[in-house]
């Protein structure tokens, strides 16, 4: 899914990139109108919480303990968001392809050991 999103957005998709690009304008001295309002940041935080919860519940359904499932969910979301930023910067899907392969191994190991 993310490969397609990155390609079709010409590598401008991804919350991390969005926050850096727009929130950082205040640091560069541009007007407040160019800064992302806090209520939009709250929406992004809510979206991350929803994504974490979905992954955590899925892992728990596979028999992973709640604590481990939460840590793995955080790893997945952090890895995917960081990788989206790397793809944006490099204009390449290679970082995402590599992280997907590694996450598959980690998650398979976590659910197989249950």
- For position 44, what pLDDT does the model report? 78
User: pLDDT, tens digit, for every residue of 39-79?
Assistant: 777 777 888 899 999 999 999 999 999 999 999 999 999 99
Regarding pTM above 0.85, the answer is no
- For position 108, what pLDDT does the model report? 96
User: pLDDT, tens digit, for every residue of 80-111?
Assistant: 888 887 887 888 889 989 999 999 999 999 99
Distance, in Å, from the CA atom of 20 to the CA atom of 13, rounded to the nearest integer, reads 12
- For position 84, what pLDDT does the model report? 81
More confident residue, 36 or 91: 91
Q: Among positive and negative, which fits the CA dihedral 7, 89, 98, 104?
A: negative
- For position 2, what pLDDT does the model report? 59
Distance, in Å, from the CA atom of 113 to the CA atom of 28, rounded to the nearest integer, reads 49
C-beta of residue 99 within 8 angstroms of C-beta of residue 14: no
């Amino acid at each position: 899914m993310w490969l397609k999103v990155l390609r079709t957005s010409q590598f401008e998709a991804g919350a991390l990139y969005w926050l850096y690009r727009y929130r950082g304008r205040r640091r560069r001295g541009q007007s407040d109108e160019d800064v992302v309002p806090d209520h939009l940041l709250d929406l992004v935080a809510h979206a991350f919480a929803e994504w974490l919860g979905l992954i955590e519940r899925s892992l728990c359904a596979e028999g992973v303990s709640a604590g481990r499932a939460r840590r793995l969910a955080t790893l997945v979301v952090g890895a995917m968001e960081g990788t989206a930023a790397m793809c944006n910067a490099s204009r390449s899907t290679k970082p995402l392809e590599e992280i997907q392969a590694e996450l598959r191994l980690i998650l398979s190991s976590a659910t197989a050991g249950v």
